[in-house]
């Protein structure tokens, strides 16, 4: 992959990418909420019965879903910022790549 500062994207490509992102962002956010909503009541019952492993799993599920939501929100902010970064040639210059990457949580560095 080339240097991110040299990437240029047309408005049409960006509009399509934003539409696709928003669809997936909504689906992923909904899925994360469904996981918590489905698993949490069961884990609450197990936790109230003194099952330490269930309580730990409960916290792991919530933590994982929270990290997913944080990553999605960071990505949404980056897409929003990029959509306002057109230069005079009607193309998008991805100048904020390093700035956005610096804000990513450490667990996303593995990607």
pLDDT per position as a tens digit, 82-97:
666 554 445 544 444 4
Average of per-residue pLDDT values in the chain? 65
Question: Cα angle vertex 110, ends 59, 9, to 5°?
Answer: 115
CA-to-CA separations, 15 to 8, 10, 18, 19, 58, in angstroms, rounded = 13, 9, 5, 6, 38
Question: Domain containing 55: what range?
Answer: 4-110
Looking at residue 35, what is its pLDDT? 74
Would you state the structure tokens that stand for residue 39, as one six-digit string? 């698993």
Residue 4 has pLDDT above 60, yes or no: no
Q: Structure pTM?
A: 0.38
> Of the candidates 96, 76, 77, which has an alpha carbon nearest to the alpha carbon of residue 86?
96
Q: What pLDDT, in 10s, does the model give residues 20-56?
A: 777 777 777 777 777 777 777 766 665 565 555 656 6
Instruction: Please report how the helices 11-48 and 52-83 are oriented relative to each other, as an axis angle in degrees rounded to 10.
Output: 160
Residue 65 has pLDDT above 50, yes or no: yes
Domains contained in the chain, number: 1
């Amino acid at each position: 992959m080339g240097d991110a500062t040299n990437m240029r994207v047309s408005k049409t490509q960006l509009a399509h990418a934003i539409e696709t992102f928003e669809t997936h962002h909504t689906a992923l956010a909904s899925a994360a909420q469904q996981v918590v909503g489905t698993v949490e009541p069961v884990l609450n019952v197990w936790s109230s019965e003194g099952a330490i492993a269930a309580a730990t799993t409960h916290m792991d599920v919530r933590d994982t879903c929270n990290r997913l939501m944080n990553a999605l929100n960071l990505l949404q902010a980056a897409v929003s910022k990029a959509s306002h970064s057109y230069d005079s040639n009607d193309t998008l210059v991805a100048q904020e790549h390093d700035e956005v990457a610096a804000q990513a949580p450490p667990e996303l560095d593995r990607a």
